[in-house]
């Protein structure tokens, strides 16, 4: 009952918490005309005339002038410009420029549609992001002259390939001009003729796009059959984001961080080449985005960014319900270990040894965090503009791995030379629960890392075979680590870098290390103690 009842109750709460958000009303709105062929032709011509639009390049200014002219001609409005400096492709500060037009509305509230203009040298970056830029120009034509409740800002930003520098600069510039942005839609690499278009809706610190805005974009795309498939990333990867948060990608992130509802269509991975553009699909996507902008203008002010949730097939699972499930899965191991403690009363000497070994198991994690943080302060961890992922240099990697191996060596020495007292089997789940408490400091969902090992350690008696003991004690821990490593596509340099800058929470690193230490307790436990101390008896 302890193992099954709490999780079942948490699952029931999770199912009750699932909701289907309502997008902006579609009543009375008509999708504006969007000429996919004309937009595709503009994208091809633009990418050929100015193939290198990388920030700070000699031709970046020409690209800004061309788009400013096209936006002004299609909208009939004056062009606004903002010149600023930010780190360029090499990390050195370069001059960048945002250009935008404002189609006025009845209020100073503004709906913003943007696309970054720059690309990765040598270009020509037809999909990334001449496609989004040409869609912006075509939307300026199709939405011009419409009577609206809010102002419409059509912005071509710079620095999208170097950490969304232009998107970060745009918000204060619009506010300084007297506008109040209430919703932002970004377009990035939307010209591919096939494949699913990703929808980016995550911000830093667990902030998410209001679910109504996400639903509105999905509904708008679904109303245009030519637009093809589009949706958020795999739900499993979304759950991994709850467990081990990563730096969010996309132009929506800086706006969400400032409290403005924002979303991005496309992922900016269109490459540097002259890829094909599917004109029919391009037209469907452009019409869907235009329809969404019209619908947003007709609705009350959008809700502010919300807390963490998982988006699955048009439905939303609150992050707090997933965290509750993670905690409910700990009740069984906690009850089993506590029951064994009360009935078995293991010796104090045995417990001292077991707990100290588990504490030593946390040392590699502690050393990793301390050295990685020190290396970050010393400049050993860098984040290249546009990558969004901090990476450690070779010296930092060697220092971190060396310290972790040294800590593991100390643990092995102490186990072999100092602690000969039999360790009760229940020590493994108890110390594992301590590791889960450390993981909890990272985020409630991080506890899911510990659950497979804790359930196995408390429900399955340890076999006598040495190899099987190793598989039973360390297999679940190493298996979960391998799953994360593969699904996240991270390497050692990225993991160490994330630990150094705090993108990988210290509680997660130290807790995972302590969990491995708890596995060691189970591996080295004396076989003769199983029958006496096993929670299954």
Question: Is the pLDDT reported for residue 486 higher than 80?
Answer: no
Inter-axis angle of helices 348-361 and 506-524, to 10 degrees? 140
pLDDT in tens, 22-33: 878 765 555 568
pLDDT in tens, 223-261: 898 998 999 988 888 888 888 777 788 999 999 999 999
Helix then strand then coil, in percent of the chain rounded to 5, is 55, 15, 30
Q: Please state, in angstroms and rounded to a whole number, the distance separating the CA atoms of residues 432 and 516.
A: 8
This prediction's pTM:
0.86
What DSSP character marks residue 301? Answer: P
Instruction: Out of 171-175, 353-357, 417-421, pick the least confident.
Output: 417-421
Question: Is the pLDDT reported for residue 535 higher than 90?
Answer: no
3-state secondary structure of 8: helix
pLDDT more than 70, % of the chain: 87
Mind giving me the DSSP string for 212-275? HHHHHHHHHHHT-GGG--EEPSPHHHHHHHHHS--PPPSTHHHHHHTT-EEEEES-S---SS--
User: Do 145 and 97 meet the contact criterion of CB atoms below 8 Å apart?
Assistant: no
CA distances from 71 to 74, 201, 350, 398 (A): 5, 27, 75, 52
User: Do 406 and 329 meet the contact criterion of CB atoms below 8 Å apart?
Assistant: no
Q: Summarize the confidence of residues 278-300 as an average pLDDT.
A: 91
Q: Please state, in angstroms and rounded to a whole number, the distance separating the CA atoms of residues 438 and 322.
A: 18
pLDDT confidence bin for 324, thresholds 50/70/90: very high
Question: Is the pLDDT reported for residue 166 higher than 80?
Answer: yes
Question: Is the pLDDT reported for residue 62 higher than 90?
Answer: yes
pLDDT confidence bin for 211, thresholds 50/70/90: very high
Q: Please state, in angstroms and rounded to a whole number, the distance separating the CA atoms of residues 24 and 231.
A: 17
221-226: which pairs have CB atoms within 8 A and are 24 or more residues apart? 221/197, 221/265, 221/284, 221/285, 221/288, 223/26, 223/31, 223/288, 223/291, 224/31, 224/284, 224/285, 224/287, 224/288, 224/291, 225/284, 226/36, 226/280, 226/281, 226/283, 226/284
User: Would you state the structure tokens that stand for residue 42, as one six-digit string?
Assistant: 């503009």
Q: Check residue 29 and give its pLDDT.
A: 57
Tell me the Ramachandran region of residue 53: left when phi exceeds 0, alpha when psi lies from -120 to 50, beta otherwise.
alpha
Q: Check residue 180 and give its pLDDT.
A: 95
In angstroms, how far is the first alpha carbon of the chain from the final one?
A: 16
pLDDT confidence bin for 350, thresholds 50/70/90: low
pLDDT in tens, 116-126: 999 998 889 99
Q: Summarize the confidence of residues 310-335 as an average pLDDT.
A: 90
By CB atoms closer than 10 A (0-12, 13-18, 19+), residue 489 is exposed
User: Would you state the structure tokens that stand for residue 91, as one six-digit string?
Assistant: 């990390």
Closest CA to 362 of 439, 471, 473, 418: 439
Peptide bond into 129 cis (omega under 30): yes
User: Do 198 and 186 meet the contact criterion of CB atoms below 8 Å apart?
Assistant: no
Domains of the chain with CATH codes: 21-313 (3.40.630.10), 329-533 (no CATH)
Closest CA to 446 of 367, 368, 505: 505
pLDDT in tens, 72-105: 999 999 999 999 999 888 888 999 999 999 999 9
Question: Is the pLDDT reported for residue 358 higher than 60?
Answer: yes
């Amino acid at each position: 009952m302890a193992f099954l009842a709490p999780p079942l109750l948490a699952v029931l709460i999770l199912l009750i918490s699932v909701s289907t958000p309502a997008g902006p009303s579609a009543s009375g709105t008509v999708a504006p005309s969007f000429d996919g062929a004309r937009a595709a032709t503009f994208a091809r011509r633009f990418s050929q005339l100015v193939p290198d639009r990388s920030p700070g390049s000699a031709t970046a200014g020409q690209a800004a002038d061309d788009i400013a002219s096209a936006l002004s001609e299609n909208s009939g409005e004056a062009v606004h410009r903002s010149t600023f400096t930010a780190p360029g492709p090499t990390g050195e500060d370069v001059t960048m420029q945002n250009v935008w037009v404002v189609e006025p509305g009845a209020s100073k509230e503004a709906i913003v549609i943007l696309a970054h203009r720059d690309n990765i040298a040598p270009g020509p970056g037809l999909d990334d992001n001449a496609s989004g830029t040409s869609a912006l120009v075509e939307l300026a034509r199709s939405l011009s002259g419409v009577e609206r409740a809010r102002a419409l800002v059509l912005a071509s930003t710079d620095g999208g390939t170097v950490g969304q520098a232009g998107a970060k600069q745009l918000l204060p510039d619009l506010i300084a001009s007297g506008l109040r942005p209430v919703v932002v839609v970004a377009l990035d690499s939307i010209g591919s003729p096939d494949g699913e278009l990703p929808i980016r809706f995550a911000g830093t610190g667990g902030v998410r796009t209001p679910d109504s805005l996400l639903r509105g974009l999905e509904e708008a795309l679904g109303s245009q059959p030519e637009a093809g498939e589009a949706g958020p990333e795999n739900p499993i990867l979304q759950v991994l984001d709850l467990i081990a948060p990563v730096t969010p990608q996309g132009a929506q992130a800086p706006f969400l961080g400032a409290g403005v509802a924002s979303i991005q269509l496309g992922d900016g991975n269109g490459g540097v080449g002259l890829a094909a553009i599917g004109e029919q699909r391009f037209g469907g996507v452009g019409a869907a985005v235009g329809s969404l902008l019209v619908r947003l203008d007709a609705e009350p002010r959008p809700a502010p960014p919300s807390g963490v949730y998982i988006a699955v097939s048009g439905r939303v699972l609150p992050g707090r319900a997933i965290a509750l499930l993670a905690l409910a899965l700990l009740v069984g191991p906690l009850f089993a270990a506590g029951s064994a403690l009360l009935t078995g009363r293991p010796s104090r000497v045995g417990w001292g040894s077991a707990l100290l070994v588990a504490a030593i198991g946390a040392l590699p994690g502690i050393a990793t965090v301390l050295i990685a943080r020190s290396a970050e302060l010393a400049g050993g961890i860098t984040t290249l503009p546009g990558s969004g992922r901090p990476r450690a240099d070779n010296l930092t990697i060697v220092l971190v791995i060396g310290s972790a191996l040294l800590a593991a060596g100390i643990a092995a020495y102490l186990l072999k030379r100092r602690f000969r007292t039999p360790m009760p089997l229940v020590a493994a789940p108890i110390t594992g629960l301590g590791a889960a408490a450390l993981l909890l400091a990272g985020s409630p969902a991080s506890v899911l890392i510990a659950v497979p090992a804790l359930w196995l350690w408390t429900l399955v008696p340890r076999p006598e075979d040495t190899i099987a003991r190793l598989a039973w004690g360390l297999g679940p821990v190493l298996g979960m680590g391998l799953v994360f490593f593969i699904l996240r596509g991270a390497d050692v340099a990225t993991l160490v870098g994330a630990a150094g800058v705090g993108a990988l929470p210290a509680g997660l690193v130290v807790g995972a290390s302590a969990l491995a230490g708890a596995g060691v307790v189970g591996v080295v436990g004396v076989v003769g103690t199983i029958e006496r101390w096993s929670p299954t008896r």
